[in-house]
Amino acid sequence: MFAYGIFKIMYSPFKTFKEMIQNPKYIGPILIMILFVLASIGSEYARASKLHVQQTLPSTLDLYNPDPWTENCTMWISNGEIPCNSNDFLLGHKSIQFSITNNDTLWMKLENIGQINCLSTDGYKNLTFCIKWINPTADPPQNASLYLFSMDTTDHFYYDLAELINQTENDKWNNFTIPVGFDAGQWVNSSAQTAWNNITGLKLDLVWAQSSRSNLTILVDRLYFQSANFEPLINSMGSIIVARNAFNAVTTFSIYWMLSGMAMFIAGKLFRIKAEFKVFLIIVGYALIAMVVMQVLFNILYLLISPLYITIDAISPTSVFQTIILFTSSMVLLLPVWSIIISSIGVHTASDLPLSKSAVIAIIGFLPYYVLLFIA
């Protein structure tokens, strides 16, 4: 049988299953799993080549710690208490919370974050962060200041945030994106020693009117310097793609293979089919050729679409992003129907049950696929 029928199953399933059931072997499904792994790695490479991620500091590509400056309380100093808040955050697992009792001023400082270059063509062009201020009186801060330190705390750039802060609302997250660098306006330098190519820390200082003196809380999250440059995801993730996706593909295929095989075997027993569990496993294994085709189609899609540019806040162009979502969701939902059809033919060939009853068994067999799909 050519390649153990793994390709012939797509255009001649009746003949393939008739030959396979006479001499059932796992080699065919195993070859299909290998093809699925290779196709999955290929589609992930194709996808990564089309995803261009904005360069940020810190990098957002660390899956385990994508927001390090607002995950670690020990990096900050303040005139208030500095707990981490794991219940109210936007990115990662926590936000940094600053709280002070019966006061009208709350400041927070982040130091020793490196020599950050905001000057050259390749330097960072924006500082972006999110703030939530909480005041029981609901009055906004009267003054708000942003400082960027150059070398030390005596040499700094100053930016008046009061106008932006006054446009925010109490107890709601608000995003700020502030241009930085030589061409950015509204910054005032404290001395001639300040340099945009050597930013080492920052400070936020919020002051309320005396009449609004109260218990103050400020949460900070998603703090990054943003470059104008984008880097293909494959440049930084290429070495991880093979190992990670090979493991994920083997695990995914094995789970669907085992669960669907077991469900189909149990359903077959209800219809008094005497075939062994091995036969049902082989039927499902061959039917999962549809998953290989799905990954091949993903490859084609990623090779044909325009690049996507990903920032912390958005993905563009949105039309391409929506096309990917529509296509992938459709394939994930519809292609397993092909597996059900192939499985129906396999059950019919193995048991001589009518195709209608064989289809019922096949549908029951692939219920775990859809259950796991919607759970995930």
Q: How does pLDDT run across 327-371, given as a tens digit for each residue?
A: 999 999 998 999 999 999 999 998 889 999 999 999 999 999 999
Pairing of strands 84-85, 95-103: antiparallel
- Under a CB-based contact definition with an 8 Å cutoff, are residues 351 and 19 in contact? no
Backbone angles phi, psi at 190, to 5 degrees: -80, -20
Same domain, 221 and 273: no
Q: What is the pLDDT of residue 3?
A: 53
Q: Is residue 58 part of a domain?
A: no
Task: Answer yes or no: do 106 and 9 share one domain.
Answer: no
128 plus 270 within the same structural domain: no
DSSP secondary structure code for residue 116 in this structure = B
Of 229, 261, 287, the residue at which a domain comes to its end is 229
Let me know whether 269 and 368 are in one domain.
yes
| Residue 59: inside a domain | no
* Residues spanned by the domain of 86: 68-229
Domains in the chain: how many in total? Answer: 2
pLDDT computed for residue 4 by the predictor: 54
> H helices within the chain, ranges in order?
8-11, 13-22, 27-50, 162-165, 233-270, 277-287, 289-304, 318-351, 355-365, 367-375
Q: What is the distance between the alpha carbons of residues 310 and 317, in angstroms, rounded to a whole number?
A: 9
Final residue of a structural domain among 169, 196, 229: 229
E strand or H helix that includes residue 207? strand 199-207
Do residues 237 and 289 both lie within one domain?
Answer: yes
The answer to whether residue 2 scores a pLDDT higher than 50 is no
Q: Are residues 157 and 189 both part of a single domain? A: yes
Residue 201 falls within a domain, yes or no? yes
How high is the pLDDT of residue 334?
92
HSE-up (13 A, CA, CB side) for residue 242 = 2
Q: Which residue has the higher pLDDT, 163 or 278?
A: 278
Predicted local distance difference test score (pLDDT) of residue 25: 87
Residue indicated by tokens 């091949």: 296
pLDDT number for residue 20: 82
Do 146 and 158 touch, CB atoms closer than 8 A? yes
The answer to whether the beta carbons of residues 289 and 9 sit under 8 Å apart is yes
- Most confident range (mean pLDDT) of 51-60, 236-245, 261-270 is 261-270
Q: What is the CA radius of gyration of the chain?
A: 29
Tell me, yes or no, whether 276 and 198 share the same domain. Answer: no
Q: Which of 229, 259, 288 is the last residue of a domain?
A: 229
Same domain, 222 and 79: yes
Tell whether 200 is covered by a domain: yes
Q: Note whether 181 and 305 are same-domain residues.
A: no
Model confidence pLDDT, tens digit, residues 145-198: 999 998 777 789 999 998 778 888 999 999 999 999 988 888 998 888 888 999
Between 132 and 191, whose confidence is greater? 132
Tell me, yes or no, whether 63 lies in a domain. Answer: no
What is the per-residue pLDDT for 182?
Answer: 85
- Please give the Cα distance from 138 to 51 (Å, whole number): 42
pLDDT, mean over the chain: 90
Look up the CATH number of the domain holding residue 219.
2.60.120.260
